[in-house]
A and B are shown apart, each in its own frame.
Chain A
Amino acid sequence: MLGYIIVIGLIIVAAMFVIGAYNSLVRLRNQVKNSWSQIDVQLKRRHDLIPNLVETAKGYMKHERETLENITEARSKAMGADSVKEASKAESELSGAVSKFFVVVENYPDLKANQNFLSLQEELTSTENKIAFARQSYNDQVLFFNNKIQMFPSNVIAGMFNFKEADYFEVETQAERDVPKVDFGD
């Protein structure tokens, strides 16, 4: 009799542990998803802004076909990415192409004086910043989640229910440094 009670008690305790660990894994995975959607919004915004930018710049930058083509190409590559790993690579290439573009723009004072261009530049700068800040909090969430998956005893539950580690959203440091800066009030 006593043996049965002990066995049933152990089963209940084990079940409660599994449920608790499972729920906390789900919660963390949702947080990771939620943080990712924050970045995703900004990435989409950037994809929307770039055609306008290229269109505005085209008339002024006749001699920079290559630069403009690079941006368009990097954009379509980034839009085609369907995993975080792929996206982070493509998006950092896109960041690089955009910042190269803004360096070239320095040689076109008439383009720099165009108000449409200036507001596009501000939007793009801000979107780059938002991506960088959102990336920070996404990566923090991924760190929590992956730690939970790797550490005992929650790793057992993670293995049972097939929880997979999330990918970090990484950007080359160079691209991060080249975030375009805008001149206020020009």
Chain B
Amino acid sequence: MRGARSAKWVAIAAVVALSATACGGGSGDGGSDGGNKAAIDPNGTFTVESGEPENPLQPANTMESYGSIVINSLFTGLVDYDSSGKIVYMNAESVDTKDSKTFTVKLKSGWKFHDGTPVTAESYVKAWNWAAAPANKQTNSFWFSDIKGYDQVAPESGAPKAKELSGLKVVDDTTFTIELTKAIPYFVYKLGYQVFSPLPESFYADPKAAGEKPIGNGPYKFVSWDHKKAITVAKNADYKGSNAAKNGGVVFKNYSTPETAYEDLKSGNLDVITQVAPKDLPVYKQDLGDRAVDQAYSAIQSIAPAFYSKQFKDINPKVIQGLSRAIDRDTITKTVLQGTREPATGWVAKGVLGYEPDAAGDVTKYDPAAAKALIKEGGGVPGNAITIQFNADGGHKEWVEAVCNSITNATGVKCSGDSKADFQADLQARKAKEVKSFYRSGWVLDFPMNANFIRDLFGTKSDGNQSGFSNKTLDASIAAADSAPTLDESVKKYQEIEKQLPNYMPSIPLWYYKINAGYSEKVSGVQFGQDGDPILTGVQVKKK
């Protein structure tokens, strides 16, 4: 989570925090050149602020953003999204389905890996089978769990009963089919995530070595990885995709803190930064002028009640509604958060398909009188005191205190922060169901559709559901939305579900994230995708 990263002087802490949510999400290829008149050098290279990836550079093994940004530059999957959340076909010619359960993928011909071998249907099927097998210990292997046969390859307990996913079948060199265990109208969206990248045959000879020197099929070729210093990639001249690089290559330079990266940006040693440290936020727009970036991206911060706790077991949702209305989001985002966030008006972040403004209705509007009335109506907050659990290493302390003050001032409910030393400890308390009252929760998109912000957080058995929230009616609505015959209908049904959420209050949405970043005078056309990463291929380097 980027918010976690920005405030900590050692970004490392945040890398861990990042892995929390900064997975995935593709990036649309915007890339206008920003009306710049300077001559462009198509072979010029530039540097981007980054850090040491957590894992070897294998597509299915990369969760945090330092690795993701490199993987995304080296691999191109079947599909990608544009900035409004619409599907763009990349390596796929088409992905067809009649029942949202069996998909036929046709590949564009002529695509090659960087080692010259062709990208075939086999390159995908074999890669997915390899990544899904628990023996290969890929951190993102659960992404294949929708595909038929996953329970055989990775059974809940005991030895695997099969080596390959029975739902994947190669038809010919450029065609394969995917069969799911049940219909998912938006499965095509998931295919945009880098875990579904193809792998060349050479990968399997030594996957570990391949993670050090990845061979992909994307707009950039891997050049070198100087551990803890930099990763260099160069333009792939043979690239067939629509997002061919407009520059000669990228150097991902390691920075331990956003402050140092900002200094290097100012002194001309760095071209693109991905975040501005809180210390520099008040001045960065003045320093950088029109090279300062201030843009929304698809992530949301909220606080979630621990529904398993004594306090919130069988709570009347009106109480949580009341607490939500006691939070003055406008003032807090403007003052404490220095305009780096935008008040949330629903549970689905901006920039994804199905986002609707004001989806939560009145619930996110500040109104102390209504807040008091709602809490009273709902029977009051048990104990008349709440705590918000957060990790102290992520820069959350300030806003947690501000939210607490706002709640106490408006309703008289006592509120205090429950600080855990770091993200690891915070996570452990959540996993062990030891959260006393509320905990801080953040979510960055996996794929740009509203289902990702509803189903994956509030479904009883969803991966992201750590609050113990469970509601049969909502589960049934989610199941109905998932079995909708078309994507559009599924999106609509999820929009209806979002409108119902105030009746359940599975969490209190606080604000949407924004990207506060910047770039040097050497480059132009720098844009950021919904996932918060810069769109590298669109960057243009000026002639010296």
Specify whether A and B are partners.
Answer: no
Chain A residues within CB distance 8 Å of chain B: none
